[in-house]
A and B are shown apart, each in its own frame.
Chain A
Amino acid sequence: MFLTPPSTTSSELSASPKPRCRRPRPVGVCGSVPTIQWLVVCVWVVAAAQLRAEDFLDEMESALTFSAFDDELRVHVSGLLDLEGYKFDQPAPGLLYTESDALLNPRLTLFVDSQIGPQVYAFAQVRLDRGFDPGDEGGEMRLDEYATRFTPWEDGRLNLQIGKFGTAVGQWVARHLSWENPFVTAPLPYEHRTMIYDSEAPVSPHEFLDQIGEAEYDYSPLIWGASYTTGASVSGQLGELTYVAEVKNVAPAARTAAWDATAVGFDHPTFSGRLGYRPNEMWNMGISFSDGPYFHPDAEPTLPSGSGIGDFHQTIIGQDISFAWHHLQLWAECYQGRFEVPNVGNADTIAYFVEGKYKFGPQLYGALRWNQQLFDDVPDGEGGREDWGHDLWRADAAVGYRLTAHTQVKLQYSHSHEACDGRGASNLLAAQVTVRF
């Protein structure tokens, strides 16, 4: 089967009881690993090594740039070496997949950026890690992004891009890599798993609602991380306006395994876009939209008779705004999402975050983020209505320190609270060391 959840099978899910909160899982063997302590040791080792290696990394940056044909062709290879550790209450939050209460995730990301003449730009991103959404599984290597962009005019009024690349929705994708993201984790709309299950349609509202609390790999967030889906886009800048319109093979909620064109074709494309207004360099605001089917083709046999994949859409309308001035940066994004759920109706949700970062000096910064997601109600099949998810909020705080121009350390604490009868509060401590080359 195409979709292989790392730790939970469909049969386990359908046989599960009806908890009202996400259930704590037993701490596994990995839970005894003092992840954070190891990470602290690693920080110091890397820091010490970095102070000596700074010149070397500068030289390597230069050595990994190649040119030919009188500089008409230029290629630059760069990368990020991340080591991140998480300590959290079970169940694992966001897009972490482990039954342990701690996780260590090393990651090597390699980028290739190339410029061919003034008009053609191409890039690719390869990752070696424990999964796009880290879990207990072993290492894997993926080609996460690759795209070619054609820019006929120097003023950027028109760009045509084709490949596998991040979603046009919102502004977070532009700063989702570990070097730019002030936090270790993503904002809530990009990682909080909802009850949307794209591999199988629920047979009734009762079954749909009963799944609350069993969120695992088969369940989708509103937007799955940077959503490196496959397709083509048109973008540009017209004075103070910017625009992006794209057609992709799957919806923003689609899991990582569905992003490749070879995994899911273009039979049921998703259309997304963003219209931005940038009155000056300080302000950047925009509205986003996305609309397209969210079920994986494997779900086709489970859909109501007479309907198909294309009849059940995910729709997103988003607003974003950002501000930057000297050492202060602020961002806010708000999304209204709708999933058309077979045999249930429209499952609506609103998710937003407000985030700020302040640099206290060349090396030290602090960041705060407030996230919230609210769920609307759906028919419960018994004449009433019931929320299809637990409203929740999450507060994130992070500090980051750039040891050198190539090394960064981050520490994040998150506290979240779900509106449910049982254990609704949970905590996460995360640390990340990044070496950029």
Chain B
Amino acid sequence: MNLLLVVAFAVLVLSSPGIAAAQAVIEGKVKLPKRKAPPVVVKRYEIVGKGGVLSPDPPVAIVYLEGTFAKPKQALPVKKILQKDLVFDPALLPIQVGTTVEFPNLDETFHNVFSFSKVNRFDLGRYRADEEPVPSRLFDKAGLVTLRCDIHEHMRALILVLDTPYFVTTDTKGRFKLAGLPAGKYKLRAWLDSKTTLEVPVELVKGEALKVNFE
């Protein structure tokens, strides 16, 4: 019993923010690609009031640590990609392998989320705002998944399924900070788009902060 208490205490202490601060940190900046022109909602044959002005997310990058890490022992938290005002929100979502993503429809019209990507091919069918349960999908293989809507051809989103628990989305200026990293030798990658992933080898030392810029 005493041994169990010691182990539980150790787990609690090791997972606390104070201890995490003692682990390695990487921060830096990624040079982001230029912003793309927002899409045009095709409404030739239907009445679409909203959708005149779309504000897609500005470019961001995903920075992640590549290495061999233990698989999660517990179910990962469910993530969400909304369909609101005829766009996916967020338009780019990084998740860890084994994450389930829900796709709630917040519009007053049908959406039909589908993917032809090899790592996860699916079609959720047409569903409306009050659909219960909320349509969802488990992403159990690493890779890039392109989401589309079969009804609104301008809608596009990406899910980057990563085999690592250490990843972060940059802000719109490209700044990032990855904290709580284990010491060791790894590759630090910055994913910019389906064809561009930058990479630098890093050696992390416990309690030290590393600065990495992807130019």
A complexed with B: yes
Q: Range of interface residues on chain B? A: 35 or more
Contact present for B40 and A115 (CB under 8 Å) = yes
Q: How far is the CA of A118 from the CA of B43 in the complex (A)?
A: 13
Q: How far is the CA of A280 from the CA of B129 in the complex (A)?
A: 10
Contact present for A155 and B36 (CB under 8 Å) = no
Contact present for B52 and A121 (CB under 8 Å) = yes
- Can you name the residue of chain A whose Cβ is closest to the Cβ of B52? A118
Contact present for B50 and A154 (CB under 8 Å) = yes
Contact present for A324 and B126 (CB under 8 Å) = yes
Chain B: minimal CB distance from A71 (Å): 5
B122 in the interface, Cβ–Cβ < 8 Å? Answer: yes
Chain B residues 112 to 144 lying within 8 A of chain A, measured CB to CB, are 114-116, 121-123, 125-129
Contact present for B109 and A65 (CB under 8 Å) = no
B14 in the interface, Cβ–Cβ < 8 Å? Answer: no
Contact present for A71 and B126 (CB under 8 Å) = no
Residues of A contacting B52 in the complex (Cβ-Cβ under 8 angstroms): 115, 117-119, 121, 151, 154
Contact present for A76 and B40 (CB under 8 Å) = yes
Chain A: minimal CB distance from B37 (Å): 4
Contact present for B116 and A71 (CB under 8 Å) = no
Total A-B Cβ pairs within 8 A: 112
1/0 contact trace for A264-283 toward B, CB 8 Å?
A: 00000000000000001110
Contact present for A405 and B146 (CB under 8 Å) = yes
With a 10 A CB-CB cut-off, give which of A111, A174, A235, A324 has the most chain B CB atoms.
Answer: A324
B68 in the interface, Cβ–Cβ < 8 Å? Answer: no
B73 in the interface, Cβ–Cβ < 8 Å? Answer: no
B18 in the interface, Cβ–Cβ < 8 Å? Answer: no
Q: Which of B37, B43, B115, B153 contacts A74 (CB 8 A)?
A: B37
Chain A: minimal CB distance from B200 (Å): 25
Residues of B contacting A55 in the complex (Cβ-Cβ under 8 angstroms): 194-195
- Can you name the residue of chain B whose Cβ is closest to the Cβ of A326? B125
Q: Which of B38, B42, B108 contacts A113 (CB 8 A)?
A: B42
With a 10 A CB-CB cut-off, give which of A117, A151, A159, A405 has the most chain B CB atoms.
Answer: A405
A145 in the interface, Cβ–Cβ < 8 Å? Answer: yes
Contact present for A75 and B40 (CB under 8 Å) = yes
Chain B: minimal CB distance from A367 (Å): 15
With known contacts A65-B39, A67-B37, A156-B48, A404–B116 Cβ distance under 8 A: yes
Contact present for A280 and B128 (CB under 8 Å) = yes
Residues of B contacting A71 in the complex (Cβ-Cβ under 8 angstroms): 37-38, 53
Contact present for A145 and B39 (CB under 8 Å) = no
With known contacts A159-B47, A362-B123, A67–B148 Cβ distance under 8 A: no
Residues of B contacting A402 in the complex (Cβ-Cβ under 8 angstroms): 116
With known contacts A154-B50, A326-B125, A362–B40 Cβ distance under 8 A: no
B interface majority secondary structure: loop
A interface majority secondary structure: strand
B211 in the interface, Cβ–Cβ < 8 Å? Answer: no
Contact present for A74 and B38 (CB under 8 Å) = yes
Chain A residues 124 to 161 lying within 8 A of chain B, measured CB to CB, are 125, 145, 147, 149, 151, 153-157, 159
Residues of B contacting A115 in the complex (Cβ-Cβ under 8 angstroms): 40-41, 52-53
Chain A residues 239 to 263 lying within 8 A of chain B, measured CB to CB, are 242
B46 in the interface, Cβ–Cβ < 8 Å? Answer: yes
Contact present for B38 and A67 (CB under 8 Å) = yes
- Can you name the residue of chain B whose Cβ is closest to the Cβ of A362? B123
With known contacts A118-B52, A326-B127, A236–B47 Cβ distance under 8 A: yes
Chain B: minimal CB distance from A326 (Å): 3
Chain B: minimal CB distance from A283 (Å): 11
24 A–B contacts, CB within 8 A, in A order: A58-B146, A66-B37, A67-B37, A74-B37, A74-B39, A76-B42, A78-B153, A113-B42, A117-B52, A117-B53, A121-B43, A123-B42, A156-B48, A165-B44, A166-B45, A236-B47, A237-B47, A280-B128, A281-B109, A281-B129, A324-B110, A327-B126, A363-B116, A405-B146
B residues adjacent to A (C-beta < 8 A): 36-50, 52-53, 108-110, 114-116, 121-123, 125-129, 146, 148, 153-154, 194-195
Known: A75-B40, A115-B52. 16 other contacts (CB 8 A): A58-B194, A65-B36, A71-B37, A113-B42, A115-B41, A121-B43, A149-B43, A156-B50, A166-B45, A173-B45, A174-B45, A237-B47, A325-B125, A362-B116, A362-B123, A405-B146
A residues adjacent to B (C-beta < 8 A): 55, 58, 62, 65-67, 71, 74-76, 78, 111, 113-115, 117-119, 121, 123, 125, 145, 147, 149, 151, 153-157, 159, 165-166, 173-175, 235-237, 242, 280-282, 324-327, 329, 359, 361-363, 402, 404-405
Top-4 shortest CB links A-B: A156-B49, A118-B52, A326-B125, A67-B37
